[in-house]
A and B are shown apart, each in its own frame.
Chain A
């Protein structure tokens, strides 16, 4: 009968495969390497935008501490940061190329982001306000 043989073979192959599976866990996939780089790139981009004098001046004019704005951006996850950076880049004012005058649109965007987090507004679906966080 073939059955016991096939059962034995299955178990044997599982035993063979097991160490390789655990070994594979330590290999870092191409996609992970790409995602990490993308997250870091988006974070760098947002920090550069926030560090700009005109953006900071505009934030202060709206009564927002630039350090507080940065702290709030820092607390976003990689996925959220990538989403935010992409949205800023797609703004009509055209801030994709750093160094181009991004203009008031980015500032309005960041103001809305910050006020979203503070719970005054609810524009961006990925932002959880402080109140929402406390509820959890």
Chain B
């Protein structure tokens, strides 16, 4: 059985892919179909409606043919190129490929996308995947082309679908615009729990976006020290959800990391205005005011943070003490 992962995807397994195994893979798929009764779709695929066109194909996704086991770097290169980042399979391979496992980890794919200043946004399931493709976003998918007990993991990029024909269209392995029936695709994709990944410029929201998941994805850019990308991502989030405190604080922190203290101050000030009960916003505002020599304002903000309290009150107190000691 495939190891189960929770929906947040914290326990990522190691994935590999084998392009040179096409023959055995086809054989395995046939055996799989005969053995497992997998000829039946495990789930109902969405029907076209007013939100979901019956067919859609992106023509702006470049194709990179993969070398042996290098489906991860190839899939990522295609998605990054589409998003406007010049990257190729060779330069990406050291960032994602794990030679001992002859494959690329999902977390490595996410991390590499972030290191190139792109939002890595996981999507799960056929509905979300089709919606994203119809919105113009290619989706990296992880398939198990083999069997659950003999996995052949493979990354491909979904660039289109045709629900009337019952096909998905993939850039996969060495094949450009490969048409695969929904049934086979479902069987191979279900074994990764329908794991998919968007690689987006930070100015663009996923079609299936949720507030918390998006802010967490932008936070990933902060973790990768991609501060300019993080600023753009938080601005994108705030344009949609102006009251999101974490995006507001993240924006301030990213400006601060860039050395732009005035913009950081403005972001934190807006955070305190919109979330007047959050001590952390006041604490960071105090700090950035103090560093700009605005001691009186800094003292006020720091006192407010301590007054509001919360689990981080000790940090707020330290900030207040340092400001009171008066050495900017």
Interface set of A (CB-CB < 8 Å, partner B): 23, 26-34, 36-37, 39-40, 78, 86, 90
Whether the Cβ atoms of B311 and A36 lie closer than 8 Å is: yes
Whether the Cβ atoms of B311 and A29 lie closer than 8 Å is: no
| Overall SS of chain B's interface | helix
Whether the Cβ atoms of A39 and B280 lie closer than 8 Å is: no
Closest to A20 in B: B291
Residue numbers in A under 8 Å from B318 (CB-CB): 26
Q: A27-B256, A27-B287 are in contact. Are A34 and B219 (CB under 8 A)?
A: yes
Closest to B216 in A: A34
Binary contact readout B199-238 vs A (1 if CB under 8 angstroms, 0 otherwise): 0000000000000000110010011000000000000000
**Contacts between the two chains (Cβ within 8 Å), count:** 52
Report if B249 contacts A (CB, 8 A): yes
Whether the Cβ atoms of A28 and B311 lie closer than 8 Å is: no
Q: A33-B245, A33-B249 are in contact. Are A26 and B319 (CB under 8 A)?
A: yes
Whether the Cβ atoms of A30 and B222 lie closer than 8 Å is: yes
Output the least CB separation between A36 and chain B (Å). Answer: 5
Output the least CB separation between A68 and chain B (Å). Answer: 24
Bound-complex Cα distance A36 to B281 (A): 13
Contact of A28 among B222, B280, B291 (CB under 8 A): B280
User: Which size class do B's interface residues fall under?
Assistant: 20 to 34
Residue numbers in A under 8 Å from B68 (CB-CB): none
Whether the Cβ atoms of A37 and B283 lie closer than 8 Å is: no
Residue numbers in A under 8 Å from B223 (CB-CB): 31
Can you spell out 28 A-B residue pairs with CB atoms less than 8 angstroms apart?
A23-B287, A26-B283, A26-B315, A26-B318, A27-B253, A27-B287, A28-B249, A28-B280, A28-B284, A28-B312, A29-B222, A30-B246, A30-B250, A31-B222, A31-B223, A32-B280, A33-B246, A33-B249, A33-B278, A33-B280, A34-B215, A36-B310, A36-B311, A36-B312, A37-B246, A40-B311, A78-B311, A90-B6
Report if B131 contacts A (CB, 8 A): no
5 extra A-B contacts, CB within 8 A, seeds A29-B253, A33-B278: A27-B253, A28-B284, A29-B222, A31-B223, A34-B215
